[in-house]
């Protein structure tokens, strides 16, 4: 199903490429030993290098190189054994060096692929490159009516800029791409993916063209979008804006635009710079990075199981549906939670409980899986007790409620509250006999062919047993006794 914007002059297709800035998980910055922790008091994590004091020299942090290589491998990408840091020159108050150390001609990672699970099938999106660079500081405009303050804590933090090819064709695909990329980074442990804290930020390059056109038209770039929802909304708006302009005989100018979530619109920020405006040149303070193949192979050997492989395994080994598997692998912590519950119970039932019952509670209380009020082991035990018929699915919901509110082990809750399922044939038969004796009218109706009355009997049985009678046995034994 393709995403098309209808216009009077034809059907318009949207072409999107994304540049994602992902903060590398590392205790120290890219070229200094200053800390990177989020939320520290302003300017408390700034070394002389980060403040660009005269004469300071950058020293590369090896962990950041490892993380970039690990990410490249996770994106099925080519690792360049030689890469070069260059200076990208521009002035901005939060950039004390007057240039950003980045990579340009020779990035550390080349072409790769990310596969999206779209409802209409898998879509392969090309990665053009991944390069390392420093983050800038932050201008604070909201501290004083007349002054702007500068916080350099972020100055020099290591970023990976991951650039996709213009392969995305709809806001939905762009949203999926970010979610998938974020999942991969989190599996790899190379970026925490926290968009609210700015550790994952997205720039979207958007253009439109008449369906069937081969050449790309002029694009605009929407800067620094900090949520998946906003990325999708910004692209949608920008594409419609461009179509309207073309439909009215206008043309698009290449520029950088800003998405205003409050007004739900994009507006012009500045005319787009070309690479040559930045006067890139190799940083004379830093040698090219030259890696051994062995260094790369060692990292490759420690890669974790990634989302696509995990998904196939959940489908093949656990018999999950593709939809359930997709949901469960979307986040590494969810996948781990599910798996530790599944291996001690029954995987398909465990998937149902995680996706339906547990997610409902987490959504209700605004919790992440890490803050789940029920542990994976206890959820697995509960599912196991349903699977082995100790309790019914209905009683399990009551037990689950108690586990959430009071905590505890499901088996002891069931024991304490006497919730164990009644599976004793003679006990159930006895209850049915009593019911039939007490309700001759309904019994008569059933025997005269009104078999719907059976449902009423089941309901009575469940009430009489406080929901504890095994529903399957009740059904079977009722049928036998009534006829």
Q: Which residues bind Mn ion (CB under 5 A)?
A: 161
Q: How many CB atoms lie within 10 A of CB 307?
A: 23
CB of 88 to Mn ion, least distance (A): 8
- Return the number of the residue (17 or 307) whose C-beta is nearest Mn ion: 17
- Alpha-carbon distance of 481 to 483, in angstroms, equals 6
Give the residue nearest to Mn ion (CB). Answer: 161
Contact 71, 182 (CB under 8 A): no
- Return the number of the residue (161 or 221) whose C-beta is nearest Mn ion: 161
- Alpha-carbon distance of 104 to 88, in angstroms, equals 9
- Return the number of the residue (161 or 324) whose C-beta is nearest Mn ion: 161
CB of 23 to Mn ion, least distance (A): 12
- Return the number of the residue (77 or 396) whose C-beta is nearest Mn ion: 77
- Alpha-carbon distance of 136 to 123, in angstroms, equals 34
First to last CA, the chain: 54
Contact 235, 15 (CB under 8 A): no
* Angstrom distances, CA of residue 451 to CA of 128, 433, 434, 435, 459: 66, 18, 19, 16, 14
- Alpha-carbon distance of 355 to 377, in angstroms, equals 16
- Alpha-carbon distance of 384 to 152, in angstroms, equals 53
State the number of CA atoms in the 13 A half-sphere of 245 facing the CB.
16
In the 8-state DSSP scheme, what is residue 207?
E
- Return the number of the residue (21 or 70) whose C-beta is nearest Mn ion: 21
Rounded to 5 degrees, φ, ψ at 477 are: -70, -35
Give, to the nearest 10 degrees, the angle between helix 410-417 and helix 393-406: 110
- SS3 call for 211: coil
Contact 481, 429 (CB under 8 A): yes
- Return the number of the residue (199 or 372) whose C-beta is nearest Mn ion: 199
Q: Tell me which residue of 246, 248, 269 sits closest to 259, measured CA to CA.
A: 269
- Return the number of the residue (23 or 45) whose C-beta is nearest Mn ion: 23
- Return the number of the residue (129 or 182) whose C-beta is nearest Mn ion: 129
- SS3 call for 227: coil
Tell me how many degrees the CA angle 61-66-72 measures, rounded to the nearest 5: 130
Extract the tokens encoding 436: 């039939």
> Residue 418: left if φ>0, alpha if ψ -120 to 50, beta else—which one?
left
- Return the number of the residue (38 or 104) whose C-beta is nearest Mn ion: 104
H helix count then E strand count, the chain:
16, 16
Q: Which residue reads 């974020």 in tokens?
A: 182
Contact 39, 198 (CB under 8 A): no
User: E strands along 263-416, which residues?
Assistant: 265-271, 281-282, 289-290
- Return the number of the residue (18 or 296) whose C-beta is nearest Mn ion: 18
Q: Which residue reads 């390069």 in tokens?
A: 131
CB of 111 to Mn ion, least distance (A): 18
Extract the tokens encoding 135: 């983050």
- Return the number of the residue (161 or 176) whose C-beta is nearest Mn ion: 161
CB of 39 to Mn ion, least distance (A): 23
CB of 130 to Mn ion, least distance (A): 11
- Return the number of the residue (161 or 236) whose C-beta is nearest Mn ion: 161
- Alpha-carbon distance of 70 to 346, in angstroms, equals 34
């Amino acid at each position: 199903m393709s995403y098309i914007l209808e216009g009077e002059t034809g059907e318009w297709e949207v072409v999107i490429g994304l540049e994602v800035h992902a903060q590398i998980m590392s205790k120290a910055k890219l070229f200094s030993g200053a800390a990177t922790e989020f939320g520290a008091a302003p300017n408390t994590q700034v070394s002389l290098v980060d403040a660009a004091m005269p004469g300071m020299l950058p020293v590369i942090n090896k962990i950041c190189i490892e993380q970039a290589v690990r990410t490249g491998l996770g994106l099925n990408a080519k690792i360049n054994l030689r890469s070069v840091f260059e200076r990208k020159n521009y002035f901005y108050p939060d950039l004390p060096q007057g240039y950003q150390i980045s990579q340009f001609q020779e990035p550390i990672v080349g072409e790769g692929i990310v596969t999206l699970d779209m409802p209409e099938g898998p879509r392969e999106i090309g990665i053009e490159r991944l390069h390392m660079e420093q983050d800038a500081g932050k201008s604070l405009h909201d501290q004083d009516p007349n002054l702007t303050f500068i916080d350099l804590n972020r100055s020099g933090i290591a970023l990976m800029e991951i650039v996709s090819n213009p392969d995305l064709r709809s806001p939905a695909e762009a949203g999926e791409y970010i979610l998938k990329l974020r999942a991969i980074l989190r599996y790899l442990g190379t970026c925490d993916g926290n968009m609210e804290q700015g550790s994952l930020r997205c720039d979207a390059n958007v253009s439109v063209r008449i369906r069937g056109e081969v050449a790309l038209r002029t694009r605009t770039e929407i800067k620094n979008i900090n949520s998946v929802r906003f990325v999708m909304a910004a692209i949608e708006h920008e594409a419609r804006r461009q179509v309207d302009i073309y439909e009215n005989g206008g043309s698009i100018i290449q520029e950088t635009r800003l998405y205003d979530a409050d007004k739900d619109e994009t507006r012009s920020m500045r005319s787009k710079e070309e690479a040559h405006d930045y006067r890139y040149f190799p940083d004379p303070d830093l040698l090219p990075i030259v890696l051994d193949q062995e260094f790369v192979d060692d990292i490759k050997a420690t890669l974790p199981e990634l989302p696509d492989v995990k998904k196939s395994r959940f489908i093949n080994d656990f018999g999950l549906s593709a939809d359930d598997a997709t949901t469960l692998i979307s986040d590494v912590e969810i996948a781990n939670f599910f798996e530790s519950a599944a291996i001690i119970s029954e995987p398909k039932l465990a998937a149902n409980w995680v996706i339906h019952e547990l997610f409902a509670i987490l959504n209700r209380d605004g919790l992440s899986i890490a803050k789940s009020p029920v542990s994976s082991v206890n959820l697995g035990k509960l599912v196991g007790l349903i699977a082995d018929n100790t309790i019914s699915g209905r009683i399990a919901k009551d037990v689950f409620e108690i586990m959430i509110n009071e905590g505890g082990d499901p088996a002891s809750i069931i024991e304490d509250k006497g919730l164990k399922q009644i599976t004793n044939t003679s006990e159930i038969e006895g209850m049915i006999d009593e019911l039939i004796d007490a309700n001759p009218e309904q019994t008569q109706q059933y025997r005269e062919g009104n078999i719907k009355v059976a449902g009423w009997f089941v309901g009575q049985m469940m009430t009489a047993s406080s929901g504890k009678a095994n529903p399957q046995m009740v059904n079977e034994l009722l049928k036998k006794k009534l006829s």
